[in-house]
Amino acid sequence: MQGVWQTLNTAAWNIQGHSEERYPGLPARFSMPAGQGVVEGDEIPYQSWAAAQRDENYKNRHTADPEEKCYLPGVPRITYTQSPFQILQFHDRVVLLYEHLHAVREIYTDGSPHPDLPVEFWLGDSRGRWEGATLVVDVTQFTNQTWFDRAGNFHSDALHVIERYTRTGPDHMLYEAAIEDPKVFTRRWTISMPLYRRQEAEIRILENECYALAPEEAP
Amino acid sequence: MSRAIRLAVIAVAATATGRGQSPDPGTSPTCPSEPAPFHACAQDAAANFNAPKTKDGTPDLQGFWRGPAYATENIEEHPKTDDDDGGKSLIVDPAEGKIPYQAWASPLPSMHRLKYVDPNVPCFPSGVPRSLYVPTQIQILQNTEHVLILFERAHTYRVIPTTPGRHLGANVRLWMGDSRGRWEGNTLVVDVTNHTAKVWFDQAANFYSDAVHIIERFTLVDPNTLHYQVTINDSKVYTRPWTMAFPLRRNTERGFRLLEEACHEGERNTDPLIALGYNIYPGI
C-alpha cells in the first residue's frame, strides 16, 4: 500500500449527491461543483433532531464548519480533503501522512487495543488488522468537534468508524468507511470511494498549513 | 483535547506499541549532556559502540527521543531567569559557542523579538533543527526506503527517503524543509533544503534565511543516546558554516506512545499578542 494516494470526488463539499452551488463568502470561481455523492444509498440515517441540526449546520456552514478555522478534520473527512496522503508501512504499524495540516495517523497493527483512557482525539485512535489483502481499521475516541463535509453533516463523540483499505489494482485502492454513532444516527451507514495512486515519478507529500496562512489575512 | 490530559496521560500500559529494541532503562549514559563535552565524548563513544541493526542492516535508530528542551529558549548559552531554565550553548563550532552572524544580521534577533510573535506560539511547524529540541517527544521509525521522524509538537513529521533522489525544485518552500538521507557507516546523514525560513531557532529569534542549507548527522553512541549534529550553511546571514551538537536521549518508559497534540485547535495566545502590536514573522 505504500505510496502517495488521493481521492477524485466532491465529498469534501458534500458526501451526499448535490447540485452545483456557490459557497457563501467565496467568489463564484470557487463555487462547489455538482457531485454524485459517496454515501451508500445516498441516504444518511439521521435521528429526527439530528436532521434538524444538520440543516442548521448547513445554513451556518460558512462560519460553523470546523474547517473554517483550519482544525484537524477528523476521520473519514481527512481522507477526502482533496490533498494527497502518503502511506508508509512498518512492522507493527501503518502510518498515514496527510499533506493537509501535516496530519498524522499511526494505525497500530500489533494487536493492541484502544487505550482504556478518557482521552479524545481529533483524528481518533486507530487500531488495524489485516483481513487478507484488506487493512481494516477500527477508529474510536473522537471529539464531537469535527464534521463529515462542508455541508454540515456531523457526528457526536460516540462516533465509531470502521475503515477498509483494499487494493484493487497496482494503482487503485477501494476505501470504505462504516459509520456508527447511536447518539446521532438510527443505523450504521457506509461511504466508499476509490483512492488513486499519484503517478508522477517524483511525487512527494508537501505542505498545506492552512492555519499558518490565516494570520496574514488579518487586517 | 485538553493539554492537561495530553500532558498527564503519557503512559498507556495496554498499547504495547513496540520499539523493536528494548534497551535496559538502567543503562547510564556514556557521555555527559552538556553539548561541548558531549560532542567530544560522543565521537569516541560512537566509534566503540556496536549499534544494533534493523533487518535491512542499517543502524536501528527507532524509538522515542528527546532533545535539550532549554535550547528552545536560546541555542546560545543563557542564564536561568524567572522566564528561562537557562543552559549551555548548543554550538560546538565555532568553539566560543556563538552564531557567526554577518554584521547586518547580528542586531536582527533582538529587534525581531520586539516586533514579531515567536512562530512557535501560533503552533507553526518548528522547522529544522528546532523540532529536535522543542520540549516534546520525537519518534523515529525506519523501513527499507525511509526514515520517518514524528514530532509530537503540533503533529509535524519528516519523511526522509534513504534512496537516491533529487531535492524539490527551488521554488517549493516547506516549513520542515525537504530532506534526503543516506547512511555513512553507522551515521544517518540528512541533507535538508527548500526551507521557508519563516521559523526561528529559538525564542531569542535567532534565524536563517531562505538560502540556508542544513546537514544533519544522527549516530548512536550507546543504546539510549543519539549524537545529533547539525551544520548550518547560509552565506546570506553568517560569515561561515557553523555546527550544533547535542544528545537525543531515549525515552524508555514502557508502553509510551506519541499522542495527538492538537496545538492550533487549542491555541489562545497569538491573538492577544497581535492585539498588542506584534506581527507574524514574514521570514527573510
pLDDT per residue as tens digits for the range B180-211: 999 999 999 999 999 999 999 999 999 999 99
Confidence of residue B255 (pLDDT cuts 50, 70, 90): confident
pLDDT tens sequence across A120-136 = 999 999 999 999 999 99
* DSSP percent split of chain B into helix, strand, coil, nearest 5: 15, 30, 55
Q: Is A202 on the interface with B (CB under 8 A)?
A: yes
Residues in contact with B44: Cβ distance below 8 Å, sequence separation at least 6, in sequence order: none
SS3 A217: helix
Contact A212 B122 (CB under 8 A): yes
Contact A88 B141 (CB under 8 A): yes
Mean pLDDT taken over chain A: 95
Q: What is the mean pLDDT of residues A1-19?
A: 97
Contact A71 B17 (CB under 8 A): no
Alpha-carbon gap, residue B258 to B251, rounded angstroms: 11
Q: What is the mean pLDDT of residues A70-98?
A: 97
**Contact criterion met (CB below 8 Å) for B248 and B230:** no
Helix locations, chain A, DSSP H: 48-59, 61-64, 210-213
State the total domains in chain A: 1
**Over 80: is that where the pLDDT of B14 sits?**
no
DSSP state of B264: G
Q: What is the mean pLDDT of residues B106-130?
A: 97
- Residue A42 pLDDT: 97
Please report where in the chains the cell 451508500 appears, as a residue.
A40
pLDDT tens sequence across B67-97 = 999 999 999 999 999 999 999 999 999 999 9
pLDDT tens sequence across B15-63 = 333 334 444 555 689 999 999 999 999 999 999 999 999 999 999 999 9
**Over 50: is that where the pLDDT of A180 sits?**
yes
**Contact criterion met (CB below 8 Å) for B78 and B84:** yes
C-alpha cell belonging to residue B214? 542544513
ipTM above 0.85, yes or no: yes
Q: Is residue A26 part of a domain?
A: no
pLDDT tens sequence across B17-28 = 333 444 455 568
User: Other C-beta atoms within 10 Å of B8: how many?
Assistant: 11
Contact A95 B141 (CB under 8 A): yes
Contact B148 A88 (CB under 8 A): yes
The shortest C-alpha distance from B240 to chain A (Å) reads 30
Host domain of residue A106 = 3-19+33-217
Residues of B contacting chain A (CB within 8 angstroms): 1, 5-6, 9, 12, 14-18, 20, 122-125, 141-143, 146, 148, 150, 154-157, 159, 165-166, 168, 172, 174-176, 178, 198, 257-260, 262, 264-265, 270, 274, 280
- Residue B6 pLDDT: 38
User: Can you say whether residue B261 is alpha, beta or left, with left for phi > 0 and alpha for psi between -120 and 50 degrees?
Assistant: beta
Q: Is residue A63 part of a domain?
A: yes
The shortest C-alpha distance from B217 to chain A (Å) reads 23
Alpha-carbon gap, residue A219 to B182, rounded angstroms: 45
CA angle B176, B148, B219 (to 5 degrees): 95
- Residue B132 pLDDT: 98
Contact A123 B260 (CB under 8 A): yes
Contact B124 A209 (CB under 8 A): yes
Stretch among A9-13, A93-97, B7-11, B224-228 having the lowest mean pLDDT: B7-11
Helix locations, A60-143, DSSP H: 61-64
DSSP string, B218-275: EEEEETTEEEEEEEEE-TTTBSS-EEEEEEEEE---TTB------TGGG--SHHHHHH
Q: What is the mean pLDDT of residues B86-111?
A: 98
Strands B279-280 and B116-117: parallel
Residue type, B21: Q
> Which residue in chain A is spatially nearest to B147 when comparing CA positions?
A88
DSSP state of A129: E
Contact A102 B176 (CB under 8 A): yes
Helix locations, chain B, DSSP H: 3-8, 35-47, 108-115, 270-275
- Residue B239 pLDDT: 98
Of B15, B20, B125, the CB nearest to A115: B15
Please report where in the chains the cell 478555522 appears, as a residue.
A69
Mean pLDDT taken over chain B: 91
Q: What is the mean pLDDT of residues A27-36?
A: 93
- Residue A25 pLDDT: 87
pTM, to two decimals? 0.92
Q: Is residue A27 part of a domain?
A: no
